[in-house]
Chain A
Amino acid sequence: MDDLDRQILRLLQENAKQTYSEIGAKLDVAHSTVYDRIQKMEHGGFITKYEAMVDAERMGIPLITAQMIITADPKETEGIAERMAKFGQVLEVATSFSEELVIIAKVVAKDQSELHSFIARSIAPLPGVLRIRTAIVTRKYKEERFSVGQEKKLSKTKE
Chain B
Amino acid sequence: MRDEAFYFFTSIGNYTGVSAVSLDEFLQKIKDVDIKSLEFHLFREDFEKWISQTLGDGRLAEDIRAIRIQKIVGNSLRDRLYFLVSRRLKELKAGPVR
Contacts and interface: CB of A to CB of B under 8 A. Distances in A.
A112 B12 CA distance: 7
B92 interface: no
Contacts of A136: 12-13
Interface residues of B, number: 13
B16 A131 contact: yes
A116 B13 contact: yes
Contacts of B12: 112, 115-116, 134, 136
Nearest to B1: A125
B14 A132 contact: yes
A115 B13 contact: yes
Contacts of A123: 15
B98 interface: no
B93 interface: no
Nearest to B5: A125
Interface of A: 66, 68, 71, 112, 115-116, 119-120, 123-127, 129-134, 136
